[in-house]
Structure 1
Amino acid sequence: MLPDSLEEAAQLDGAGNLRIFLTIALPMAVPAIIISFLFSLVWYWNETGLAAIYFGNSLTTLPLELQRFSAVYEQMYGGEGSFDFINEGIQMAGTLITILPLLIIYFIAQRWFVEGVDRSGIAGE
């Protein structure tokens, strides 16, 4: 929400509606836009069901490849007398590779993310 006093002050200075939007409202909304971007990016990054439906076998995502890797590893090395599950270290390495792009984007946008959470009043209590 843009305070009325800011809008009135800009109008008194001779700014039009477009200039008020571009120089006052949009910079104030950047943290909220970045929060929305980060949440939707993480939401759709982890959406493996829709990706499998839309892409089929022609394209794939990193979370889908991690699932496929785990299944293939269990088939290859999960014989009689051995463990029927993937080595935890290998699975954690694959998980790190899967979330690495999200971590890089978060570290780049961290300043605006924290500012947006601070402005919106989201509390972790």
Structure 2
Amino acid sequence: MKKLFDLLEEENSTPLSESVKQVIDDNARQSSSVQPKVESNRHIDAAQKRYNSVREQYKELQELKRLSMAQRTEILKALEKGQPLQQVLLMCIECINSTVHDEAFKRQAIKNFEENYK
């Protein structure tokens, strides 16, 4: 490439050399000034946000599964030890509530439990 520029410098007087020099300069300017398109950056940013959101939801789901498994293990241990069924039922209600995040279910289940088992 260096030799090409040296040749162009030596032959400045010919129209062909000027034309070649102009093409090389234009290409150099275009390649150095190529910037990522703003729209493609938006797509990349949006995809990154979606990825982060899904990843966060996945982590929350994994934590919920872990907690649910721990609660189920406690229920099984309580049944093995022969704890009173009222305590086991309350543990089951709490486990179901934490899994489905349904406060209305929890209120109704506790209300029914208190009416029928206490």
TM range (shorter): 0.3 to 0.5
TM-score norm. by structure 1 comes to 0.34
TM-score (norm 2): 0.35
Query: Which protein, 1 or 2, shows the higher relative CO under an 8 Å CA cutoff with sep ≥ 6?
Result: 1
